[in-house]
Structure 1
Amino acid sequence: MKKLIACVLATLICTLSANAQTTFPNKPVKLMVGAGAGGGTDIIARMLAEKMTDSLKGSFIVENKPGASNTIAADLTAKAAPDGHTLLVATNTGQAIAPHLIKLSFDPIKDLTPIGLVVTVPNVLVVGAHVPANTVKELVALMKAKPEEFKYASSGVGSTQHIAGEGFDIAAGVKSIHIPYKGSAQAHLDIIAGNVQMMFDTTSSAMGQIKAGKFKPLAVTTPQRSAELPDVPTLAEAGVAGFEMSTWYGVFVTAGTPSDVVTKLQNELARIIKLPDVQAKLKGLGGEPGNISPDEFSKRNKQDFERFGKLIKQANIKM
């Protein structure tokens, strides 16, 4: 009798376990976003939520938790139940830069498991139309002739635009003044007005001003040229080697989430990214759709974390 009961219990446990593996999601899934509605991260999160709701037959809901350089959303995800029902749509600002500037109560590497890279958006060095420089070489000459008179804008302290400016100063051997804003819109107005000379903005954000002739693009800060700006050289091609910057968007889940759920999410994200309409939308944002494996994305996340940490220390950047 005891053996019979043991067998029945074992069968029941196996059945429940199998059901648990096949019923994800079994409650609403939150996609946490560390920025406000309407921005690039939010747009990507809502696109993913719509696709996953259709394919995984669950409810995927975007929750905006802006603040602290995108780390509030990351903190909530890191401390959520490890069951796959809380996802983080993140950028390298929150994952690889902010942790070196803000004291966090979680570890962005150990407490969050990468699901996959969604898109990479190049940063581009732009100057206002009033700046008498049409190449990086000419800009560097002007900056050396007038030390610390050139100002560069960013969307905030600790943003990729901020770090790119500091990295450029070190690589080019110049010194500029950082002017942080609460977003790119006001920064653009001040560049157009001549109050600030330059910015290392994302291509998706700067493209409108470039097409309008109000910004001059001098170089992209990525290893390869941007498909959106094929005639604009890379910084290395323009004579300033040793620094790269792009803004990536990726998906993470709480560490400790069962491997079968992680794999299911990874496979689903990879499938979604390959959809023609998704590819078109990501390219419309000025980005290159993700085409690397989850392991490669994890490696990139760690490399960026270490690389930006060294740069922040070298440049003595403080919040």
Structure 2
Amino acid sequence: MKLKKILLAALLATPLLGLAQNYPNKPVRIMVGANAGGGTDIIARMLAEKMGEAFKGSFVVDNKPGASNTIAADLTAKAPADGHTLLVATNTGQAIAPHLIKLSYDPIKDLTPVGLIVTVPNVLVVGTTVPANNVAELVALMKAKPNEFKYASSGVGSTQHIAGEGFNLAAGVKSIHVPYRGSSQAHLDIIGGNVQIMFDTTSSAMGQIKAGKFKPLALTTATRSSELPQVPTLAEAGVRGFEMSTWYGMFVTTGTPPDVIARLQSELAKIVRMPDIQTKLKGLGGEPSNLTPEQFAQMNRQEFERFGDLIKKANIKLE
């Protein structure tokens, strides 16, 4: 009887063990809740290339923009729990949007953290048509023309949206929120002068800044960025009261075999430590992660609670 039980347990464990050893056995989709060209997409494509090399398989980025990154998260949460659907998410979709949008999945229970990739500042940028070269000049213009200035975001509930509302409160100004389905679309309207302001991530805005199409006025973090050393923080520029940064992390469908998650965690940690990836992430203004998977899981939950409290206190609602 004991031998039969041992044999039965071994038979039951075989499919799980085989899946972990043979992973991946088909193309892996890396879901991204933003358009091609945005910060999340740029980072996901870096990972897709490196993971394809590490696992000797096909890792393909699948852009599903909209609903503050939650469309991609929803598809990942409901995918087969076999590790062949991954999600590169930000605190927009994981910690902010769930408090503003009715979802058909639970971002904490239905998505399992694999690892933190990078944290980047948000940067206050304006188009070249805006006659302001620092925060004080911008605030003066906005106070002289209340509700005439528009600020773009990658969607309702994004870090750009929350930062814009925080700036309105902290600076005592009024501006109109214009949400887009991703940062890349918003960039075109800023360059064209249809929208004047954006609190974009450095990972998304750096290309436009370096090309001279955006004027960076301030970082929304406590310290300056080594990639933008000449740009002050908002506090240094005279606007105090709020900070905002954006983190990028990888998640997998809850229920994925632990051995598969462990392999993903191990390879992701190796990739983030690669010198060329470190250089690329820092070039986007980011700080590559040094957190353990357990620390990232704790951070994910704390961020969910922190933004929930902030949204409630600021009475931020869907537009």
Give yes or no for TM over 0.5.
yes
Q: 1: distance between equivalents of 2:52 and 2:29?
A: 11
Counterpart residue number, 2:247 = 248
Q: 2: distance between equivalents of 1:205 and 1:97?
A: 19
Counterpart residue number, 1:317 = 317
Deviation (angstroms), 1:84: 2.2
1:82-116, Cα deviation, whole Å (9 max, x unpaired): 23222111122222222222211001111111111
Q: 1: distance between equivalents of 2:274 and 2:242?
A: 33
Matched, 1:91 2:70: no
| 8 Å CA contact retained: 1:46, 1:62 | yes
Counterpart residue number, 1:201 = 200
Deviation (angstroms), 1:190: 4.5
Counterpart residue number, 2:59 = 60
Larger Rg: 1
Counterpart residue number, 1:73 = 72
Deviation (angstroms), 1:236: 2.2
Counterpart residue number, 1:127 = 126
Report the AA paired with residue 299 of structure 2.
R
Q: 2: distance between equivalents of 1:208 and 1:80?
A: 34
1:269-302, Cα deviation, whole Å (9 max, x unpaired): 0001111222233234343322222223223323
Matched, 1:257 2:259: no
Report the AA paired with residue 317 of structure 2.
I
Q: What are structure 2's unaligned runs of at least 5 residues? A: none
Question: For 2:126, what is the secondary structure of its paired residue?
Answer: strand
Counterpart residue number, 2:115 = 116
After the TM superposition, which residues 166-177 of structure 1 pair with which residues of structure 2 at under 5 Å, given as runs? 166-177=165-176
**Residues 82/125 of structure 1: CA separation in 2 closer, same or farther (3 Å cut):** same
The two structures, once aligned, show a CA RMSD in angstroms of 2.8
Report the AA paired with residue 206 of structure 1.
A
Deviation (angstroms), 1:251: 0.5
| 8 Å CA contact retained: 1:167, 1:311 | no
| 8 Å CA contact retained: 1:114, 1:252 | yes
* TM-score normalised by the chain length of structure 1: 0.86
| 8 Å CA contact retained: 2:38, 2:182 | no
| Dislocated runs of 4+, deviation >6 Å | none
Deviation (angstroms), 1:43: 3.1
**Residues 67/198 of structure 1: CA separation in 2 closer, same or farther (3 Å cut):** closer
Report the AA paired with residue 31 of structure 2.
M
Deviation (angstroms), 1:9: 4.1
| 8 Å CA contact retained: 2:16, 2:257 | no
Which sits farther off after the overlay, 141-150 or 101-110?
Answer: 141-150
| 8 Å CA contact retained: 2:38, 2:183 | no
Task: Calculate percent identity across the aligned residue pairs.
Answer: 75
Matched, 1:51 2:70: no
Question: For 1:63, what is the secondary structure of its paired residue?
Answer: strand
Q: 2: distance between equivalents of 1:208 and 1:156?
A: 20
Q: 1: distance between equivalents of 2:178 and 2:97?
A: 18
Q: What are structure 1's unaligned runs of at least 5 residues? A: none
Q: 1: distance between equivalents of 2:252 and 2:31?
A: 10
Question: For 1:22, what is the secondary structure of its paired residue?
Answer: helix
| 8 Å CA contact retained: 2:127, 2:191 | yes
Q: 2: distance between equivalents of 1:246 and 1:4?
A: 57
